[in-house]
Structure 1
Amino acid sequence: MSDYRPQAPVSVPLTGTVSRADDHALVQRLVRTLDPAHPAPDRLAAELLARFGSAGMMLSAPVGALDEVTGRGTAISSLLAVVREMALRLHRSRVRHTDVLSGQAGLEAYLQACMGHEVIEQFRVLFLDGTFRLLADELMGTGTVNHSPVYPREIMRRALHLRAERLVLAHNHPAGRPEPSGADIEMTMRIVQIGKLMGVAVHDHIIVGNGCSHSFRAMGLLG
C-alpha cells in the first residue's frame, strides 16, 4: 500500500516579474503535478534549477539532460518534454500572429526555447512577408558543437518559393558565449549580399546561448 500523502499547494505567481523563489515554487508545483507521489518535490525543484538556471531553461533542456537530474526510472523528463512542446507551440503562435518589429523580445524568447539548450549547433531561418509576418520557421542545418553547415543559395531558393521578402537568421552557440564570431559575421554578410541580388532582405541574425541572445541588428552589424 502506498504511503503517499497529499501535500499542501504551492503558491505560484502566474504574471508579473519572476524571481528565483518564484521559479522554485513553479517547478516544485510542476513536479507535484507530474508525479503526485514524488517523495521530495522541493529538493528535485532545487536540483533542476541548480542544473539549468531557471524554469524556462529547464523546459528548453533535452530529455537526456533532464534524465540526469530526475532519474531515468521516472516519467518526469518525458512529461516535461510534452510541457516544453506546448510552450513552444504557444511561442510559435505568438510569433506567427505579430510582426517581428513589435515582438522582438518574444521572438528571442522563442528562439531561446527552441535552441538555447541544444548540444549541437543549429541554423534556422524565419521567412517573413513584407509586413514582417511569419511565413515559415525552418531548420536549415545542423552540425557539431561549434559548427553547422549553411548554404545561402538554398536559403534564398526557399525564400523565393515561399515568396518571402525578409529573413531572420538564427543559430545557437552550444559550447560558448553567444557573441558572433568572425565566421558568423562573414557568413551573414554573404547571405545579405546574395539576398540583395534576389530582392530578399536579411532583417536580423540572432544568436542564442547560455540563457541570453545577441542580435546583429541591435549591435549595428546590419546597418
Structure 2
Amino acid sequence: MPDHRPQAPVPVPLSGTVSRADDHAFVQRLIRTLDPAHPAPDRLAADLLARFGSAGMMLSAHVGALDEVAGRGTVMPPLLAVAREAALRLYRGRVRRTDVLSGQAGLEAYLQACMGHEVIEQFRVLFLDEGFHLLADELMGTGTVNHSPVYPREIMRRALRLGAARLVLAHNHPAGRAEPSGADIEMTLRIAQLGRLMRVEVHDHIIVGNGRTLSFRAAGLLG
C-alpha cells in the first residue's frame, strides 16, 4: 500500500553543485507530491535520472520523452510539464532581475530549460536594454529537426519597436551537438552586420544542445 503520510522536505541547494543523491531525493519527493498513489517513486526517480541525467534536464524534457519513461496514460508527464512551466517562470524572473553579463550561467541554464529537449529547431531572441536587462524573450522562428527560418529584418524591426540596444540570439540543435554549422555562423554575422547599421549590438548567440551550450562570444565567433 502506498505511504500517504506527509514527507519531510528535501533540502535542495540553491547554488553550487547538486549531487546525484540530492537530485534523486528531489525527484522522488516531486513524484510523491504530484502522484501520491504512485507504487514505486524511488524506482521511477532512478529511471528518470538515468534517462535525462539530472533533475533540471528532466524538468526541461519534452512530454513525449517523459512518456517513454513514466509510461503513457500516467499522470506524471502532464504534471511534470506544469512543474517545468513553473521552473521556466522562475528562471525568467531571475534573468529579468540580473544583467546578462553577471548572469551568463543562469542565462544558459534558462535557455537549456526552454529549448534543450525540443524535438524541432527553434530560434529565440532575447532583447536587452543598455544595462543588459531583459526587455523581452521571443520565439522568432520554428522549423524542422535541423532548420528554423530566420529573418534578420524582422528581428531588427522588433528590436527597434522594443527600444532594445542589444540582442542575445539562441537556437537549439535537437540532435544534441552544440557546435555551430557554417550556416549558423554566416547567419549570425549577417544579423550582427545589420544590427551595426541599426545601432543594435548582437551581444551573443547561444546554441543549445542536449545538456550542452556554446556561446559565440566565448568562442570568438562574432567577428
Deviation at 1:84, TM superposition (A): 0.5
Deviation at 1:47, TM superposition (A): 1.0
Corresponding residue of 1:199? 199
CA distance in 2, matches of 1:186, 1:143: 18
What do residues 128-159 of structure 1 show as CA deviations (whole Å, max 9, x unaligned)?
Answer: 11111111100000001111010001100101
Corresponding residue of 2:220? 220
8 Å CA contact 1:125, 1:139 repeated in 2: yes
SS at match of 1:194: helix
Higher mean displacement: 111-120 or 170-179 = 170-179
CA distance in 2, matches of 1:5, 1:191: 56
TM-score of the aligned structures, taking structure 2 as reference length = 0.95
The 5-angstrom pairing of residues 1-223 of structure 1 reads 3-6=1-4, 9=7, 12-15=10-13, 16-222=16-222
What do residues 32-84 of structure 1 show as CA deviations (whole Å, max 9, x unaligned)?
Answer: 11111111111111111111111111100111211121122221111111111
Give the residue type in structure 1 aligned to 2:12. Answer: L
Deviation at 1:179, TM superposition (A): 1.1
Higher mean displacement: 187-196 or 28-37 = 28-37
8 Å CA contact 2:12, 2:22 repeated in 1: no
CA distance in 2, matches of 1:88, 1:82: 10
CA distance in 2, matches of 1:5, 1:133: 46
Deviation at 1:7, TM superposition (A): 6.3
8 Å CA contact 2:121, 2:142 repeated in 1: yes
| Unaligned 5+ runs, structure 1 | none
CA distance in 2, matches of 1:196, 1:5: 62
Give the residue type in structure 1 aligned to 2:181. Answer: S
SS at match of 1:131: coil
Give the residue type in structure 2 aligned to 1:134. Answer: L
8 Å CA contact 1:59, 1:83 repeated in 2: yes
CA distance in 1, matches of 2:42, 2:81: 20
| Unaligned 5+ runs, structure 2 | none
| Paired residues, number | 221
Deviation at 1:13, TM superposition (A): 3.2
8 Å CA contact 2:176, 2:212 repeated in 1: no
Deviation at 1:12, TM superposition (A): 3.2
Deviation at 1:9, TM superposition (A): 4.0
Deviation at 1:4, TM superposition (A): 3.1
8 Å CA contact 1:60, 1:116 repeated in 2: yes
8 Å CA contact 1:10, 1:25 repeated in 2: no
CA distance in 1, matches of 2:115, 2:41: 27
CA distance in 2, matches of 1:93, 1:176: 27
Give the residue type in structure 2 aligned to 1:80. Answer: L
TM-score of the aligned structures, taking structure 1 as reference length = 0.95
CA distance in 2, matches of 1:165, 1:5: 55
Identity %: 81
